Structure 1
Amino acid sequence: MDVLVLIGRILFALLFLSSGVAHLVQTKAMAGYAASRGLPAAVPAVLFSGLLLLAGGLSLVLGVWADLGALLLAVFCFPTAVLMHAFWKESDAQMRQIEQTMFLKDIALGGAALMLLAFFSYAGDDLGLTITGPLFDIR
């Protein structure tokens, strides 16, 4: 089971790690998009979210307080869904569908991150292939 959880952690975190790198490498372009969606202080927000994505993703992959890493990713996903993919504001049917899909993707990823938070917090030190145990104990 430990190996399957490790593979799952890596595969789940890949999306967040690559997105975090993109936030830091393509800050100007991403900040332009964020500003177009009405996000104030877009450049600092993009830089902060990039660091948040990297911290959460690395935490999961390395197994260093993986429960905290999962929480960080959930903290990213839910506001991103609402702020960046407000499909209910779109008048064009095609854009509305695209934004709704992106919204639901972010909500689903946030839900999965919450499940990982619960899993790591509950499994504790019984889960192998991690560097540290969980930060939280939800038993």
Structure 2
Amino acid sequence: MPGSDALALIGRVLIAYMFIPAGISKIMGFAGTVGYIGSVGLPLPAVGAVLAILVEVGAGAALLLGYKTRIAAIVLAVFTLAASFFFHPYWSAPEAQKMIVTLLFTKNIAIVGGLLALAAFGPGRLSIDKK
């Protein structure tokens, strides 16, 4: 399809835009991130925060550049799927919050789908992987 490499690049940029700024904000507000992770009952919240930063910034940058794209996309997909269940449990949200939590969960699942498509079809020719 004409333009498919440009579309793949745009898709990578837009998906990376979700992860890289989120990872940077976790660095800037590390204590708050640790507290938030701990508030959902996950063990070792400081370790979890560091892992989240590494995944979001590291795999997000790899996705952006098209470097080891398939691996980065799978890592981000697994991370996003797990985060969806821990941080957006719409099934147990209070009624007043149910709509927004459902929206966040559903958005994340759609992003997982996009990441899996990148993993399946690759980054396109406008990437480090194809150089």
- Give the counterpart of 2:29 among 26, 38, 55: 26
Deviation at 1:114, TM superposition (A): 0.8
1:108 to partner: Cα distance: 1.2
**Stretches of 4+ aligned residues off by more than 3 angstroms:** none
1:1-139 matched pairs, under 5 angstroms: 1=3, 2-90=5-93, 92-120=94-122, 127-133=124-130
Please give the TM-score of this superposition, normalised by the length of structure 1. Answer: 0.83
Separation in structure 2 between the aligned mates of residue 48 and residue 32 of structure 1, nearest angstrom: 15
Query: How well do the aligned residues superpose, as a CA RMSD in angstroms?
Result: 1.5
Letter in 2 for 1:129: L
- Whichever residue aligns with residue 68 of structure 2, its letter is W
Gaps of 5+ in 2: none
Q: Give me the whole-angstrom Cα distance separating, in 2, the residues matched to 1:61 and 1:18.
A: 12
Partner of 1:137 in structure 2?
A: none
Query: Secondary structure of 2:127's match?
Result: coil
| TM-score, scaled relative to structure 2 | 0.88
1:19 aligned counterpart, secondary structure: helix
Distance in 2, matches of 1:65 and 1:75, equals: 16
Which is further off, 73-82 or 92-101?
92-101
- Deviation for aligned residue 1:73: 0.9
Task: Name the aligned partner's letter for residue 100 of structure 1.
Answer: T
Any unmatched runs of 5+ in structure 1?
134-139
Q: Greater relative contact order (Cα 8 A, min sep 6): structure 1 or 2?
A: 2
Q: CA deviation at 1:83?
A: 0.9
Identical pairs, percent: 31
Whole-angstrom distance in 2 between the partners of 1:76 and 1:14: 16
